[in-house]
Amino acid sequence: MDKQLVIAVAAQIRDYLSRRPHASDTAEGIHQWWICWDTTPEAISVTIAALEHLESKDLIAQWKSGNRMIWRRSVTRQSNGPALPDRMKTMGEI
């Protein structure tokens, strides 16, 4: 998988959450509605890789709701750390 593409998608997810900090959705919803694809959307696996990348940095989290997994900004970061945009600024490139 193209790492630069995953990083670019992760940045779009980060930007979306910086504008809408309480947003949450499934991977499919994020893939369709949160990402601005230049042309035809990439495979859902790219979005999932970007979500997992952000999750590994404790910036987003997922939880089970019924039979679906929902992604949102990390509750740990909301309550115990700086706001998502500030934290991202100190991280450098994600």
Residue ranges of domains in the chain: 3-91
Average pLDDT, the chain: 87
State whether residue 91 is helix, strand or coil.
helix
pLDDT tens readout for residues 80-90 = 444 455 444 44
Q: Which two tokens stand for residue 50?
A: 């970007």
pLDDT tens readout for residues 14-47 = 999 999 999 999 999 999 999 999 899 999 999 9
Which CATH class, in words, describes the domain spanning 3-91?
Answer: mainly alpha
Amino acid code (one letter) for 91: M
Bigger pLDDT: 83 vs 1: 1
Amino acid code (one letter) for 41: P
